[in-house]
Structures are given as structure tokens and as C-alpha cells.
């Protein structure tokens, strides 16, 4: 059998059912790996080992009694520390929230527990999911398991680092401008931002009310589908929640790419934000692979990346300042320098600018929907460059905005990032696939076809 720490969630569930492995045995193997790697990677803010062991022991006993709670029965999951877990602090990686203990699980955590998942603990993030890899916060920044001198992407940084390093098979992240897909790209794993409103955000500290999403990070497309099945569903307590009937998101994973119409958004990385040759080559190869698998690949044109980024920035900064205004006035010194610098400009964005951005957003949504009349899935860049070094803030500041993820927070379309190659530096390169609203099953079908036809999902870092 595969080493326990590299088992996918689906593989672990099958091993449990076949009595080849117990949830307690898997958890003990993961805790040993966490003990060895946490001092180098800093993926956890808080490891809840005793509670996880108790839950794993109970899950093991239930299997012995013939009871399976759900498809994630006994599977450990890590939770980004802006998402509430009952009885644990939700610090948001900030001094401002060190004493805040959650009274109840976030809706998404409750759903995962209902499916049988075991919460391992709370994971590193950028401060309030907006700061960046910083050293002036209460906890150290997470590090990239492919090379711990580099950042792991963010803001779901601990989620990406931990999944990639084999500390847990799956994790929860959030995505407002790309924060699930960024660590997936930097760490060579799968990160899925679902359709806006498909997954409840109740119990998640907000960054931007109209851009926030909650999504899974995993090492396989099948695990992302499995997680989404457990997470999705209408929640009347979340004003942004959609009354969608979408279900069984992995139903088409084995169908392959034949017959899919794929729109290749070349201008994102060729003209809007020119990427290095190795990124362009990886994206061209992804298009070639899907065509070889039977997809029809054609070039398509969307609004420009810089305009998408501008609309996202105005909306995000305005809404984030509304959330943080009181603390910024009363306790500005308690923020890290980077998050404070990113939040303060919201004080100077006028209401007409916010309204204009939302109006342009509606036009952009219409433009993307028009393209989707003729294609089933989009293929485009995620990150333009691999992750920069943690000790090079200038290079991090330069490369972080060089990405094509924010357009699909603006439009709300489901989007998935996954590994598509290895850079000359030895760090992962990534591709992004985008689907129609609430058509995650088709998006996951395309990603699974690419995954099967390429070797990247079988590569693991050796931190």
C-alpha cells in the first residue's frame, strides 16, 4: 500500500472499508509526519492532536461496528484559521483575534464532520487573508514544501503547504482573489474555488462579502470532488448562499475529454501580463494534452487581466475596509505592516467608484457568459511565475499580482488550479481550468482528464 501520508482521501476511505488501515493508524502516521515537518514548514497555527486522536479512535470503533458516517469517515482535514472550529481560537493569524474562541463550527466544518471527517487543527494564513507572507505576526509564515526557502502561496498558505507535504490529505481554504488557487499553484496540488454561493461562508471571517468563496485543497481531482460533495449546499444564514441543486460533482470524472469544447485564454499570459517562456510552454502543453485526449481546443478572448484586477481591487478594498474600519481607527498598531498597508486604501475609495466597479463587474460577467455559449471549459494561466523566496519581499510583491485568478472571483465562475509542470527552479508550474456557473462536474471532468494524461499528480516534494 502507498505510504499512509500520501494516501488520498478516497484511497484512505477505501482502505478503511477494506480493513487494511484504520483511521487511528492513519492519524498516528500523520501526527508523526507533522511532528517531523512542522518545525520546517509552519503549516499549523494550532494542532488539535488530542481531539483528533479521540475522533479517530471513535471512527475506528464505528467501522468495527459496521457504521460509516459518510464518504469522509475517518479522513483528517486541516482548516484555514479564518474558519471557525468550535472550541478553538479563530485567530486569523492576527494579534487582534488571539483570544477569540469559536462557539460553534462554521457551516462548512459542520458539513465535513457530518460526512465523517476529523479536524486536525487550524492552519496558517496571511493575516485576515489579505496580508502576505510576513514575519511581524504572532505566528511564522508557512513555507513551501518543494523548497522551504520559498513561500507556499496564500492566503490559504498552511492549507497548501500541508496538503502538498503529506501532513493531511485535504484542507479547507478561502478564495477572494485567488487564495485557494494560489497555494495550489505554488505547491503543486489541486485547489478548487466553487461557484459563488455554492458553499456557505457562515462562520468564516469575511474579507469581501461579494467576492469570498470557500473551497477545498487536495492532491487529486477526485478528492476535490469528494470534498465539494460534502461541503456544498444552501444555507439561508449566508446572504450570498445560492439555492442550487447541483450534486454528485465527481460523476463525470471518468468520461475523459472527448467532446469537450475548451477555450484557451492565451492573451492572459501572452499579452495582458506576459509570462516567462516556461509558463507559456506548460500552458501550451496542457492545451495539446487535452486536444490529444479528444477535446476541441480553440482560442477565446475575455476582458483584459488588468481591468479584471482593477475591478476586483476596488470591490475587495472597499468591502474589506468596511469590515476593518473600527480596528484600523482604534488598534492600527496591532496589524502587521503588510495587511495594514493593504487595508487602509479602502478609506479613500469613494462610493461612486465602488458602484462603477460593480457595474463594470456585471458587464464582465456578461462577457464571460457570452464566451461560454461556445465552449464548455476555459483553460488559462494561474500564476505567471513560481513562488518567490520568503526572504525577498520585493520579488514577492512583484510576482504576487502576476496571476489570472481574480477574474473568476469577479465573475463567480468555478475555477480550479493544478500542477502542470516543473520550473527550472524545481518549483511547480500550474494551469487553471474554469467552468460555467454551477457546472463543477464538467470543470472537474476536464481537470481529471488532464490529470490522468500527465505525471504531475504523482510527484511529491521531499521537504
Helix, strand, or coil (residue 449): helix
Beta bridge partners of 122: 46, 79
DSSP per-residue string spanning 247-291: --TTTTTTS-STT-EEEE-THIIIIISPPPHHHHHHHHHHHHHHH
What cell numbers appear for 47 in the block? 494542532
CA distance 361 to 410: 6
Q: What is the CA radius of gyration of the chain?
A: 20
CA distance 283 to 300: 14
Beta bridge partners of 217: 171, 191
Spot the catalytic one: 22, 94, 134, 155: 155
What cell numbers appear for 196 in the block? 459563488
Backbone dihedral angles phi then psi of residue 120, each to the nearest 5 degrees: -85, -30
Verify whether residue 179 is a known catalytic residue.
Answer: yes
Verify whether residue 122 is a known catalytic residue.
Answer: no
Spot the catalytic one: 157, 159, 179, 185: 179
Q: Where are the alpha helices (DSSP H) in 191-343?
A: 221-231, 267, 277-292, 305-330, 337-343
CA distance 142 to 422: 21
Spot the catalytic one: 80, 134, 200, 339: 80
Catalytic residue ranges:
80, 155, 179
Amino acid at each position: 500500500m502507498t505510504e499512509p501520508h500520501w494516501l488520498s482521501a478516497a484511497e484512505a476511505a477505501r482502505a478503511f472499508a477494506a480493513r487494511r488501515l484504520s483511521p487511528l493508524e492513519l492519524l498516528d502516521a500523520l501526527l508523526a509526519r507533522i511532528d517531523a515537518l512542522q518545525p520546517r514548514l509552519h503549516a499549523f497555527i494550532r494542532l488539535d492532536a488530542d481531539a483528533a486522536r479521540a475522533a479517530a479512535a471513535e471512527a475506528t470503533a464505528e467501522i468495527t461496528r459496521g457504521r460509516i458516517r459518510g464518504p469522509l469517515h475517518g479522513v483528517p482535514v486541516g482548516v484555514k484559521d479564518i474558519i471557525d472550529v468550535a472550541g478553538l481560537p479563530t485567530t486569523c493569524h492576527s494579534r487582534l483575534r488571539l483570544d477569540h474562541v469559536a462557539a460553534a463550527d462554521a457551516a462548512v466544518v459542520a458539513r465535513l464532520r457530518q460526512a465523517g471527517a476529523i479536524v486536525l487543527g487550524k492552519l496558517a494564513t496571511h493575516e485576515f487573508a489579505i496580508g502576505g507572507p510576513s514575519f511581524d505576526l504572532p505566528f511564522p509564515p508557512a513555507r513551501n514544501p518543494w523548497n522551504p526557502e520559498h513561500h507556499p502561496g496564500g492566503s490559504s498558505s498552511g492549507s497548501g503547504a500541508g496538503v502538498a507535504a503529506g501532513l493531511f490529505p485535504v484542507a479547507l481554504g478561502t478564495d477572494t482573489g485567488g487564495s485557494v488557487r494560489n497555494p495550489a499553484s505554488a505547491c503543486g496540488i489541486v485547489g478548487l474555488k466553487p461557484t459563488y454561493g455554492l458553499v456557505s461562508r457562515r462562520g468564516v471571517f469575511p474579507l469581501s462579502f461579494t467576492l469570498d468563496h470557500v473551497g477545498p485543497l487536495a492532491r487529486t481531482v477526485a478528492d476535490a470532488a469528494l470534498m465539494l460533495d460534502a461541503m456544498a449546499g444552501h444555507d439561508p444564514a449566508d446572504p450570498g448562499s445560492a439555492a442550487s441543486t447541483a450534486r454528485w460533482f465527481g460523476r463525470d470524472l471518468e468520461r475523459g475529454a472527448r467532446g469537450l469544447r475548451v477555450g484557451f485564454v492565451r492573451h492572459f499570459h501572452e499579452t495582458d501580463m506576459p509570462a516567462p517562456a516556461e509558463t507559456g510552454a506548460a500552458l501550451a502543453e496542457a492545451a495539446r494534452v487535452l486536444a490529444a485526449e479528444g477535446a476541441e481546443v480553440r482560442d477565446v478572448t475575455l476582458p483584459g487581466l488588468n481591468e479584471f484586477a482593477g475591478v476586483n481591487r476596488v470591490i475587495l478594498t472597499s468591502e474589506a475596509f468596511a469590515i476593518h474600519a473600527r480596528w484600523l481607527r482604534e488598534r492600527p498598531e496591532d496589524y502587521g505592516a503588510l495587511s495594514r498597508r493593504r487595508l487602509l486604501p479602502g478609506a479613500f475609495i469613494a462610493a461612486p467608484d465602488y458602484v462603477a466597479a460593480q457595474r463594470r463587474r456585471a458587464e464582465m460577467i456578461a462577457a464571460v457568459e457570452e464566451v461560454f455559449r461556445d465552449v464548455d471549459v476555459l483553460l488559462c494561466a494561474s500564476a505567471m511565475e513560481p513562488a518567490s523566496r520568503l526572504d525577498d519581499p520585493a520579488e514577492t510583491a512583484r510576482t504576487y499580482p502576476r496571476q489570472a485568478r481574480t477574474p473568476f472571483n469577479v465573475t463567480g465562475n468555478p475555477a480550479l488550479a493544478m500542477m502542470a509542470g516543473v520550473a527550472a527552479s524545481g518549483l511547480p508550474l500550474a494551469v487553471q481550468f474554469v467552468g460555467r456557473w454551477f457546472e463543477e462536474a464538467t470543470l472537474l471532468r476536464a481537470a481529471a482528464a488532464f490529470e490522468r494524461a500527465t505525471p504531475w499528480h504523482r510527484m511529491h516534494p521531499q521537504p
